[in-house]
Amino acid sequence: MRIISCFIVVLFFFNLTIVIGQKNKFDTLNFIPIYGSIPLKIDDAFYAFKDKDSIQFDELKFYISEVELINGNKLVWKEPNSYHLIDASNLKSLQIILNVPQNISFQKVKFSLGVDSIVNVSGVRGGDLDPTNGMYWAWQSGYINFKLEGKSNLCKTKNNEFSFHLGGYQYPFYVHKSVVLDFKKNSNTEIIIDLKKMMDYVDFAQQNHIMSPSNQAVLMYEKALEIFSNK
């Protein structure tokens, strides 16, 4: 009986050691879409819009690329071939699995919203960059970095629809910038996507349709950068 008890104690501390050793293992970015404090649902919910009307979202897609981990001011890890399509209607796409070494310590996560000019001029690709994903302009070369579509009665358009397709890889309509988020500990990291921060800026009477690179696309893209946070 004493032998069995000793074995159980040893097994407990062995398992505890494994858990502690894995505690700081970081391997996942989890994106959580919300509107204000409410979970975001595509095609299935209405949200209050500026206390004037409601808003519904039919599509939210964007590219995350160039994922990096930073400790202090030092780059400690960079994901190779880093291109991920986030689709709010596809739960699987909201989780990015990263192959990060066990002993990496970091304080910041950095990523780009969209894809860079090299990808845009290299022609169409497969996987998340496949044009069949609906993120490549058919009437001009280049990827759509951020796509948001929905409906609001404040839009005086057919079926009250709005469409924001934000992209551009040539001056002066270059939309490809980085987001840097601070994290206090290494863990599976949750990144909040709060669309309300972007929609608070929108005046549907003035702007409800962006479908090509332009000054309006650049301004809207700057607001899209603000929707990401870690709290």
pLDDT digit string, tens, across residues 192-226: 999 999 999 999 988 999 999 999 999 999 999 99
Match 């879409």 to its residue by tokens: 33
- What phi and psi values does residue 224 have, to the nearest 5 degrees? -65, -35
Q: How many CB atoms sit inside 10 A of residue 105's CB?
A: 13
Residues 6+ apart with CB under 8 A from 124: 130, 131, 136
pLDDT at residue 169 is higher than 80: yes
Work out the pLDDT band at 25, boundaries 50, 70, 90: low
Residue-wise pLDDT for 10-24, tens only, equals 433 334 333 333 344
pLDDT top residue among 15 and 188: 188
Tell me the two tokens of residue 126.
Answer: 């497969």
Work out the pLDDT band at 185, boundaries 50, 70, 90: low
To the nearest whole number, what is the mean pLDDT of the chain? 86
Residues 6+ apart with CB under 8 A from 210: 163, 164, 165, 166, 216, 217, 220
